[in-house]
Chain A
């Protein structure tokens, strides 16, 4: 492979695994919903163990407005345009899920101190596309699509915002939403001409907080949708029922030839697996079922609430977080029909198994995770969503969130919390903030897709 001819990312997952170790992390930190009247911001964290500022926030980029609720983010370009030498992984798209503003952040000019390049105004997005509440950002080639969870008034199902490489609004990406009632996360696997999408709820339902009763009133999702990627329309729905209440993060294998995909159903605390069989039919099954746990003060056992899943770049391990229980699990999925639990660590959570880690009181539970390309370091943050944090972990208002690192054994499996890494967002200069999704300048295990 002649790298000088090539664009961003890596020729293959195998090449990505060989990339240099990440030395900087980007994570968002929020003040929305905390009572601190400051903008949400993007932090740069030093992840180089040789550096004197290792495990510290070394830069903060404030957004222009307040109340955005920064949440997930994505790159302008990834390995999907590796063969396009005119492209580079230069910009991080950082949407505000409440404001619908999309911040375009230049991370290349000075990777340690990202700067704001442009803001796509939420009002413009609503006016031109009747969409709001941006969530997942994926690039496909030089184009960018973002799942938008609502229409301009916060009603489901929303749709997909299409931006060009200059971050101009092209319009709606999808040709049809079919009968899809809700949107959330998505991932595509172009060699199978397929995209998979999951269902949270309408913004007007989930943003104010979680009314459990609304699940029974069918205001939360319980389906996974497969799309005809080229036609940009849904083609098949898996109705998961009680096994798939609130299906959130969607991941295909990184291997572009694989048809295997996975999703974590948060409230049911199950992992759903789908694949294309020898006859070309798409099938699904439940492969992991996290048992509810009793709690002395609760009238009913606590569900795990699987808020995120992640697949290692070599497709051998699946990681999941039980945000209410407080554990992260590692499963070997070399046989994706029969996962084997190979590791587990505890931090925070409502079961009281690890209230303090590395000298920091963990408020919240393991929530968003990001894995190094070589699969050895898993970075974990503890805040889910401002209003839901306030319901389940109200002390997070004064304690803030935190980031920890877990060392992962990629040979035999196994996990151990690194004793030398902790970033306490309770100590931020403007007061306690909450950290959510993390990305690395060179791409990570939830950003890159191969065409």
Chain B
């Protein structure tokens, strides 16, 4: 099993060895980390966490718009680690996840991937 070390910055830096092939939500919950989740297919954002350091593959997620991705959010129920990672987990990490859409509109390149247009130079 190829594994990586996941560090939880807002859980006193606790570390966990996880399988590179499994979604982070499953691996962390199996080791006793209490995490929010909902749909388990990458569509509902309940399990969003902030990636502080490292890389993940979250191609299966469809919940995040490009602004949320640029702000570091990942969807734990489908994200698989590609390196050692440092995360902030839980609702405490959601400070930039939600915005009032009337007061803070998205630019065309900040929309979800299926409708975003490339950023103008």
Residues of A within 8 A of B (CB): 32-35, 37, 66-69, 98-100, 132, 150, 152-154, 203-204, 207-214, 217, 219, 297-300, 302, 386-387, 390-392, 394, 397
Shortest distance in angstroms between A439's beta carbon and chain B's nearest beta carbon?
23
Interface of B is mostly: loop
Establish whether residues B102 and A69, one from each chain, have CB atoms under 8 Å apart when the complex forms: no
How far does the alpha carbon of A66 sit from the alpha carbon of B97 in the complex, in Å? Answer: 21
For A297, give the chain B residue with the smallest CB separation. B103
Interface of A is mostly: loop
Tell me which residues across on chain A come within 8 A of B46, comparing CB atoms.
32-33, 67, 69, 98, 386-387
* Pick from B34, B38, B90, B97: contact of A69, CB under 8 Å: B38
Tell me which residues across on chain A come within 8 A of B64, comparing CB atoms.
208
* Pick from A100, A213, A219, A392: contact of B100, CB under 8 Å: A392
Given contacts A32-B36, A67-B38, A207-B63, contact A387 B45 (CB under 8 A): yes
How far does the alpha carbon of A397 sit from the alpha carbon of B91 in the complex, in Å? Answer: 10
Shortest distance in angstroms between B62's beta carbon and chain A's nearest beta carbon?
5
Tell me which residues across on chain A come within 8 A of B101, comparing CB atoms.
209-213, 391
Asked if B72 is an interface residue, CB under 8 A from chain A, the answer is: no
How far does the alpha carbon of A219 sit from the alpha carbon of B112 in the complex, in Å? Answer: 11
For A389, give the chain B residue with the smallest CB separation. B98
Shortest distance in angstroms between A157's beta carbon and chain B's nearest beta carbon?
15
* Pick from A67, A212, A299, A391: contact of B98, CB under 8 Å: A391
* Pick from B92, B102, B105: contact of A35, CB under 8 Å: B92
Asked if B94 is an interface residue, CB under 8 A from chain A, the answer is: yes
Tell me which residues across on chain B come within 8 A of A219, comparing CB atoms.
115
Establish whether residues A217 and B115, one from each chain, have CB atoms under 8 Å apart when the complex forms: yes
Establish whether residues A98 and B38, one from each chain, have CB atoms under 8 Å apart when the complex forms: yes
Tell me which residues across on chain B come within 8 A of A154, comparing CB atoms.
39, 41, 43-44, 62
Tell me which residues across on chain A come within 8 A of B97, comparing CB atoms.
209, 390
For A303, give the chain B residue with the smallest CB separation. B102
Asked if B106 is an interface residue, CB under 8 A from chain A, the answer is: yes
Tell me which residues across on chain A come within 8 A of B98, comparing CB atoms.
209, 387, 390-391, 394
How far does the alpha carbon of A204 sit from the alpha carbon of B42 in the complex, in Å? Answer: 8
Establish whether residues A207 and B41, one from each chain, have CB atoms under 8 Å apart when the complex forms: no
How far does the alpha carbon of A297 sit from the alpha carbon of B100 in the complex, in Å? Answer: 12
Interface residues of B in 94-120 (CB under 8 A from A): 94, 97-103, 105-106, 111-112, 115
Top 3 closest pairs, chain A to chain B, by CB: A35-B91, A98-B38, A154-B43
Given contacts A208-B44, A213-B105, A213-B106, contact A203 B39 (CB under 8 A): yes
Most buried by B among A37, A98, A204, A217: A204
Most buried by B among A212, A386, A387: A387
Tell me which residues across on chain A come within 8 A of B36, comparing CB atoms.
32-33, 35, 37, 66-67
For A213, give the chain B residue with the smallest CB separation. B106
Establish whether residues A214 and B44, one from each chain, have CB atoms under 8 Å apart when the complex forms: no
How far does the alpha carbon of A285 sit from the alpha carbon of B82 in the complex, in Å? Answer: 55
Establish whether residues A204 and B115, one from each chain, have CB atoms under 8 Å apart when the complex forms: no
Establish whether residues B91 and A207, one from each chain, have CB atoms under 8 Å apart when the complex forms: no
For B99, give the chain A residue with the smallest CB separation. A391
Tell me which residues across on chain A come within 8 A of B105, comparing CB atoms.
212-213
Chain B 24-68 interface mask (CB, 8 Å, partner A; 1/0): 000000000011111111011110000000000000001111000
Shortest distance in angstroms between A356's beta carbon and chain B's nearest beta carbon?
22
How far does the alpha carbon of A210 sit from the alpha carbon of B97 in the complex, in Å? Answer: 12
For B103, give the chain A residue with the smallest CB separation. A298
How far does the alpha carbon of A394 sit from the alpha carbon of B100 in the complex, in Å? Answer: 9
How far does the alpha carbon of A390 sit from the alpha carbon of B101 in the complex, in Å? Answer: 11
Establish whether residues B103 and A299, one from each chain, have CB atoms under 8 Å apart when the complex forms: yes
How far does the alpha carbon of A152 sit from the alpha carbon of B105 in the complex, in Å? Answer: 30
Tell me which residues across on chain B come within 8 A of A99, comparing CB atoms.
38-40
Shortest distance in angstroms between B59's beta carbon and chain A's nearest beta carbon?
13
Tell me which residues across on chain B come within 8 A of A208, comparing CB atoms.
43-45, 63-65
Task: Write 29 A-B pairs (CB below 8 A) sorted by A numbering.
Answer: A32-B36, A32-B38, A33-B36, A35-B36, A37-B36, A67-B46, A153-B41, A153-B43, A203-B44, A204-B43, A204-B44, A204-B62, A208-B45, A208-B64, A209-B45, A211-B101, A212-B105, A213-B101, A213-B111, A213-B115, A214-B111, A214-B112, A297-B103, A300-B102, A387-B98, A390-B97, A390-B98, A391-B100, A394-B98
Tell me which residues across on chain B come within 8 A of A150, comparing CB atoms.
43
Tell me which residues across on chain A come within 8 A of B112, comparing CB atoms.
211, 214
For B68, give the chain A residue with the smallest CB separation. A208
Tell me which residues across on chain A come within 8 A of B44, comparing CB atoms.
98, 154, 203-204, 207-208, 387
Shortest distance in angstroms between B28's beta carbon and chain A's nearest beta carbon?
13
Tell me which residues across on chain A come within 8 A of B38, comparing CB atoms.
32, 67-69, 98-99, 207
Chain B 59-85 interface mask (CB, 8 Å, partner A; 1/0): 000111100000000000000000000
